[in-house]
Each structure stands twice: as structure tokens, then as C-alpha cells.
Structure 1
Amino acid sequence: MPSETKLSLFDACGMAIGGMVGGGIFAVLGEAVMTSGNAAFISLGLGGVLALITGIVYSKLTIQFDESGGEFVFIEHIAGARFAGTISWFLLLGYVFTISLYAYTFGAYAGRLFGLGSGPNALLGSIVIMVIVGLNLSGVKKSGISEDILVYTKIIILIGLIGVGFINVSPDKVYPIVNMGIGSTVKAGALVFVAYEGFQLLTYDYNTIENHKKNLPRAVVISITTVIAIYILIAFVLTGSLSPDVISHHKETVLAMLAEPVLGQFGILVVLVAAVFSTASAILATTFAIARLAKRIAADGQLPHQLTSLQRAGLPVYFTFLVATLAIIVQFFGNLEQITTFSSLVFLFVFSIVNFMGYKHAIYEGWKSSLPVAGAVGCFSAMGVLLYETYASNKETVFIVGGIAIVLLVCREAYIWGHSKYI
């Protein structure tokens, strides 16, 4: 690959930050605040620490195997192709739910932007999925420069919101901090963990990063710490400047309300536009990521080759349509809590496996070996807390999540049984 087509450190940071901030904070902030109250900034910080540990482990494993492909490659090399295939099926479904989450959020912000209310949210979300899939398959290419501009413009807008929010922060809204209990604080951190999904996009594009062995770990640490800081500050000024009633009433588009006290309707409009573009670009980036992962899995016989055999503009046509269809179904029949819960559970599960693989592969020696252990235990524990707390408050969500997981496992086992001669 010519050097001019390589991703610089700046580009790589933009890709990772865009993958996280793209739809994450717009999609899950309301859920975080509704779950943990004033401690939402602590919840996002807890999730960020787990993401940072996991990101460091991802970087180390990627460099050691010196191959693009992310978690599928790690697990395949360490634990075998079948186990890697099973974990990757869960990851693919997690991406489907993530696309659905971004589409759901797009519908909420777009509906408010165009004065349509919340009624057509799912319809608007479905439309944006179909439009983006159509653009992808038609061969429309992303520009690295325009992508950088979009990402860093979003960062500037979010930093501006933080500044505006601090003007209206009042102590009587900030305290008490842990006003909904420690359990709820931890649950919220696990619930919104999907907001940190995205840094692993760098491992899929590892070979396209300039001086990748040096710049990959740099980009991962810079991007995740930047996003942690933005998320914590946004959550703090939100709960410190808006009343619980306002937050509850505008839960799905609460970020837009942060600018209203100082900038009025203009501020709301800016955030609404930014959210629409952010969630749409997040769908675009996730669609590309899931397509790359699917092709890699299918190449090793761990996914039906029929799904990836026909390609257009570098994307597997049938697989892309399947993902779009499932994402549309999910956002029509699932609510925001259910979609967020399943997405976060999947990524916590996969990241706990990746961290354990890092420990098993002995990527660190001595006291440093505790890093992947801490990541594995932390992600797995967060998953347990999320399941327990969700079961205590909404058993139906846990049953739905469990049912989906069982169906996926049955389908995976049926595939393995039918292709046992080849895999």
C-alpha cells in the first residue's frame, strides 16, 4: 500500500474517537443518567477504565500477531477457529444491535429536528439504515479528510456543550452524588459500555495505519482517554445543570437540552444536527466494520460462505442486507433499554474473553500480567452486575436477552454440525 494512503496517527485517533463518540454519547447518555442519577459521570468513568484496559490488551495482541482482524484473529490463534467463530457470531449480533441503537437514536433526534415528535422514530431509523446500505453498496467511498473534519467538529461541539453546561451547574443539583446507590452506579457503567465500542475498529484496519506497531497503541490510548474525559464532563454538567424532570422528559434527546439554557433554540438546533450526522456516520462506520469482520470469519469457514460470496464495492451483499434487516427489526420491536442492554452485554462478554486471551497468551510478564486479568474480571463482573440489576428491575429484558443468546447458540451449533467436515 502506498504510504500516502496510510492512516496517520491523527487519522487513526479520529477513526477510533469517531467510532466511540459517533453515536455512543448521543445514544446512551439519557439511559446512564436515568439509571445512576448524579453519579452518571462516575458510571461513564468506570466503563472507560474497562475500555482502556481492554484497548491496551487489544493493541498488544494485534502487534504480537501482526495481523488485521481483531478479536477473531486473537481467539483463533490462541483457542482455535471454532471457539473464535462462536464468539464472533455473538460479536456480529452485537454490532447488529449497535447499528439498531444508532438508528433508534437517529430517529429520535431527526424526529425532533423536523418537528415530527417521537411517533416515526423507528421509521426514520429504518430509512437511514436503508439509505446508508444503498450508498455503501453503490460504491460511495469515505474521504479520510472529510471523516477527520466530521469527527473533530463533533468534539468541538461537545467541548462547547461542556463549557455551556458549566455556566449553569449548581451545587444543589450536583449533590448528593451517589443519589441512586452504588449498585445503580455500577449497573449504569455496564449498561452504557457500548458507548466505548469503536476503538477496536483500529485493529480491523491495523495494516493501513502508518508505522502501525508504534502508532496503534498510541492511537488507542489517546482516543480512549479523550473519550473518557468528554463523557465524564458531559455527564457531570448535564446532571449539574438540568433538573431530573427535564432529563426524564427528554431522555432520548437529552444532550440537546444542555445548550438550551444559554443558547436557546439555536443551541438545541446545533446539537440536533450534530446528533443526526453523528449517528448516521456511526451506522456507516459500523456497517463497514461488520462487513470486514464477516469476510474474515467466512474466509476461515466459520460463517456461511454464501453470505459473503457476492460482493459489491468491497462489501458482501447478502450479509449486508441481512444485517440491515435484523437491525431494522430490532429497533422496531425493542426499546432503548433492551437494545442498549444487549449491545453492552455482548461487548462486555467479548472483551472479557479477549482480556483472558491476553493473559493466557502471556502478553505481559510479572506484575503487568495483572492488567489483562483485571480487564477480564472487570468486564465479566460488570456483565454480572448488569444482568442482576436488570433482572431485579425488569425481568422481561433479561428473558429477551437470554432467549436471543440461546437462539444464536443453537444456530451456531447447527452450522458447526452441518459443516463439521469443513471446519
Structure 2
Amino acid sequence: MVGGGIFSVLGISVAMIGVYTPVAIALGGGVAAVAAYSYIKLALYYRDEGATYSFFKRTFPGSRFAASLIGWWVVFGYISTLALYAYTFASYAISSGDHGDNEWLRKGVAGAVIMAFALINIWSVKGMGKLEDLMVYAKLVILGLISFVLIRNGQATLPDLLNTQEPVSLVSILIVASLTFVAYEGFQLVIHAMNEMDEPERNIPIAIYAAVGAAIVIYVVIALGAIFAIPFEDIIRNKEYALATGAGEILGNLGARLVILGALLATSSAISGTLFGASRLMAVIAGDGYFPKALATRKNHIPVNAIIIMAALAFALILIGGLELILEFGSITFLLVSLLMAWANFRIRDKTGSSLTLTLLACLVLAGGTGMILYYELTHEIGQMLFVGGLYVALMIGAWGYARTVR
């Protein structure tokens, strides 16, 4: 989970709400925790590695189109986050060179890192798992060190920042909180490994709640360190690699390199984990006939074709759009999908043993978050909204076409 999220959303958040960025990031984590409740309840009831797609299909078995559509939505949501992580990886990888602002070089590096981790996932699940563990432990140590150093060396104080902050509305804070939801979306991937884990009834809740809680703490601390130590104009100007620039000015070349290493490890593990879980979901959906049958093929339990196609589509999205477009598409998609999961849990709450209050709260919060992003798009980024709307129309046509062929 702790991947491209914090590195991607930090600059955009500071540009919109300044000193209130840590508040919005914490609220985004709260939305993720509420959403996670329904996922856990449905996972323990259905015990199906298809996760989001399978839960919805089995809760509402009467509509092939609905099953196909949510399958397409969630898979392309993962493709957008894969693109987000790879784009952020590339931004930090080239940030210290003479061509740090070269957009096409950034996109080329992003495509290369996606290809590299696609090959690692195809090569060996066991090898990928060991590499993932190593990257996760290393990145957590580095991110903790970065946060401590930034806060320790920060010249600004919270009262000073609040005194100089332009007025910010509650709506703006809630919009940013909704945009940061994509930074937490990785918790669903745990469920795709249900058939490969011991004691899922114990390990799934522990893994998901611990992951969301740890991500909130890490993201908020990093955001605090950034706003205390790095001038806002620098964060906004270098939003793709703001932490590296700020650490470089405070700690010199060594500090910048440490931040870059942390960002590369964080985004690498997120790319690898997303490919692992989402490719298995794509294979499950293809097995039901809602994607090309070739994507269901597995070699030694590894969905090779699904991994290759996901990597190719993520690279295509990188070529088409920029950071903000990818971020907004991913946030809207996962808020919508999580809302549908909360609704599914509400429909069978007696079977899943869910709290009516928590289930309704999840529906309300997720619907509100989706509405916040749409409101922002309508009022500030109408061009991007039209493009995202076009993507959804294309996904609906594809889902409808395959739903017609299933018997």
C-alpha cells in the first residue's frame, strides 16, 4: 500500500489546501478504513479470491452486465494505480539528472519499470514474494528516517503556517481527502491471495486493518515533515518529486538520494503487489467469460497473459495522460467500486454479520467522496472530466459486449 500514493498526492494536495494537507490525508485513510469493513465481511463470507468482482457477482446474480461492468471497472482501476506508481517511480528516478522535467523520458522509464516487474511476476511467485518483503522493510525504514529528519530540521511551525495560510473551505479539504483515497486502495489486494494464505479468517482482518492504520501514520508523518521543512512553492513547483527536492536543500545530495531511494522502493513494491493481485483478478473474470478467454490461462498458477496485458495497458495510460488525470481516474474508480461493495454488504448484512450502522456509514462516506471529486472536476477540470467520462463509456461498451456473449 505504501507506494506511489504519498509521493503522488503530496504536491497536488499542498497546491489545493496548503497546511491542511495532513488533515485531508488522515481523512482519506478514514474513508479507506470504513470501506475496508465491507471488504473484510464479504471476504470471510464468500471466501473467494475474485474479491470485489466475485462478491458483487454472487450478491447480485441476476445481471450479467452488472458483473461484467464491475469487473472491468476494478481491473482498469488497478491499471490506473499501476500507471500512477510507475509514473511516480520514473519522476523520482530521473529527478536528480539534467533531464528531470523531460516528460517523454519519464514515460519511457515508467514503461521500463512496469515491464521489469511484469517479468519478475511471471518468473516466480516465491521469488517475487521475497523481493517484495525486502523492498517493504527497507522502504519503511527509509521513510521513517526521512520523516524524522524533515520534522527535526523544519524551520516552520504549525502556528506560523496557519497564520500565513489563505482561507480554505471544508469542501476543499474533503475534495483532497477523496482524491487521496487512491493512495490507500491496496488493501483489497490481500483478498486475492486468500487461496494462498493460512487462516484467512484471522489473517485477512489483521492484514487489512493493520495496513490501513500503518499507511495513515506513515502518510501523515511524511506530510507533516514536508510542510514543516519544504517551502510550499517548492512542493507545488516540483510536485512529481517534491520530497527529493526538499530533502536535497536541507540535507544536501545525500538527503536527496535517500528520499529518491525510498520513493523507488515504495513505488517498486506497489507495482509488484498490484501486478500480483490484479492479474489474478483479471484471470478470474476472464474465466467467467467477461474478458478474452486467453487471459484466464495460467502457467504454474501464474496468469502470464493477464500480467502482460495489464502491464501494456498501464503503459498506454501513461502515454495518454499525466499525473493528475491518472490520480483522479483511480480515485473515482475505487470510490465507486468500494461504494458498490458497501451496498452489497448492506444487502446481505444478516449473512455477513455486519453492523447496520457501520455499513450505512460506509455507503454515505463513499458516496460523498465520489460526489466531491465529480464536483471538483465539473468546476475546475472539465476537460479532464470529459476524458475520464470517455474512458468510462469505453469500459461500459466493452463490459456490455462481453456480457452479451456469456450464457
CA distances 1:167-201 after superposition (whole Å, capped 9, x unpaired): 21423225466843222211111112110011111
1:376 alignment counterpart:
363
TM-score relative to the length of structure 1: 0.88
Task: Indicate the RMSD between aligned Cα atoms, in angstroms.
Answer: 2.2
Secondary structure of 1:252's aligned partner: coil
Q: State the one-letter code of the partner of 1:337.
A: E
Say whether 1:136 aligns with 2:121.
yes
Find 1:34's aligned residue among 12, 15, 32.
Answer: 15
Q: Tell me which residue corresponds to 2:26.
A: 45
Aligned counterparts of 2:312 and 2:124: Cα–Cα separation in 1: 20
> For residues 232 and 176 of structure 1, do their structure 2 counterparts lie closer, same or farther at Cα, with a shift above 3 Å needed?
farther
CA offset at residue 145 of structure 1? 4.6
User: Contact conserved, 1:61 with 1:363, CA < 8 A, in 2?
Assistant: no
CA–CA distance in 2 between the matches of 1:342 and 1:220? Answer: 23
For 2:107, the equivalent position in structure 1 comes to 122
Report the residue type matching 1:160 in the other structure: L
The amino acid of 2:258's aligned partner reads V
Q: Does 1:277 align with 2:274?
A: no
Greater CA deviation, 264-273 or 146-155? 146-155
Find 2:378's aligned residue among 384, 387, 391.
391
Supply the distance in 1 between the matched residues of 2:386 and 2:337 (Cα, whole angstroms).
20
C-alpha displacement at 1:304, in angstroms?
2.2
Q: What residue is the counterpart of 1:245 in the other structure?
A: 233
Aligned to 1:79: 60
The amino acid that maps onto 1:383 is T
Q: CA deviation at 1:279?
A: 1.4
The CA distance in 2 between the partners of 1:46 and 1:188, in whole Å, is 9
Which ranges in structure 2 are unaligned for 5 or more consecutive residues? none
For structure 1, the 5+ residue unaligned runs are: 1-19
Q: For the Cα contact (< 8 Å) 2:114–2:311, is it kept in 1?
A: yes
Q: 1:232 matched to which residue of 2?
A: 220
- 1:66 matched residue in structure 2: 47
Distance change >3 Å, CA 163–CA 258, structure 1 → 2: farther
The residue that corresponds to 2:343 in the other structure is: 356
SS in 2 for 1:21: coil
Relative distance call for 1:178 and 1:199 in structure 2 (3 A) is farther
CA-CA distance at 1:333 after TM superposition: 1.9
Aligned to 2:330: 343
Q: Is the 8 A contact 1:56 1:220 kept in 2?
A: no
Relative to structure 1, is the Cα distance of residues 293 and 303 closer, same or farther in structure 2, using a 3 angstrom cutoff? same
Q: Determine if contact 1:22/1:278 at 8 Å carries over to the other structure.
A: yes
Query: Would you say the 8 A contact 2:68–2:400 is kept in 1?
Result: no
Q: Deviations over 1:128-147 (max 9, x none)?
A: 12222233334474354543
Counterpart CA distance in 1 for 2:118 and 2:207 is: 28
2:69–2:395 contact (8 Å) kept in structure 1: no
Query: Cα 1:416–1:180, aligned 2, differ >3 Å: closer, same or farther?
Result: same
Aligned to 1:328: 315
CA contact (8 A) 2:179 2:328 kept: yes
2:44 equivalent to 1:56: no
How many residues end up aligned between the 2 structures?
Answer: 400
The aligned amino acid for 2:149 is V
Inter-partner Cα distance in structure 2 for 1:132 and 1:84:
29
Residue 24 (str. 1) matches residue 5 (str. 2) = yes
Aligned-pair CA distance for 1:306: 2.6
Q: Which residue does 2:248 correspond to in 1? A: 260
5 Å matches for 1:97-108?
A: 97-108=80-91
Mapped to 2, the partners of 1:109 and 1:363 lie a distance apart of: 48
CA distance in 1, matches of 2:299, 2:48: 24
Match of 2:286 among 298, 312, 324: 298
Indicate the larger mover: 321-330 or 356-365: 356-365
Residues 99 and 379 (structure 1 numbering): CA distance in 2 closer, same or farther, change over 3 Å? same
Instruction: Quickly say closer, same or farther: Cα 1:239–1:364, change in 2 above 3 A.
Output: farther
- Are the counterparts in 2 of residues 173 and 241 from structure 1 also a CA contact under 8 Å? no
**1:222 equivalent in alignment to 2:205:** no
TM-score, normalised by the number of residues in structure 2: 0.92
Number of the residue aligned with 1:166: 151
Alignment deviations for residues 23-60 of structure 1 (CA, whole Å, 9 cap, x no partner): 22122222222222111111111111111111122111
Cα shift at 1:334: 0.5
After superposition, what is the alpha-carbon deviation per residue over 1:356-376, rounded to whole angstroms, capped at 9, x for unaligned? 111111158999311121112
Q: Secondary structure at the match of 1:210?
A: coil
**Residues 366-375 or 282-291, more deviating:** 366-375
Structure 1 pair 198–354 and aligned structure 2 pair: CA distance change class (3 A):
same
Find the aligned partners of 1:123 and 1:108 in 2 and give their Cα distance: 11
Choose from 187, 191, 194 the match for 1:199.
187
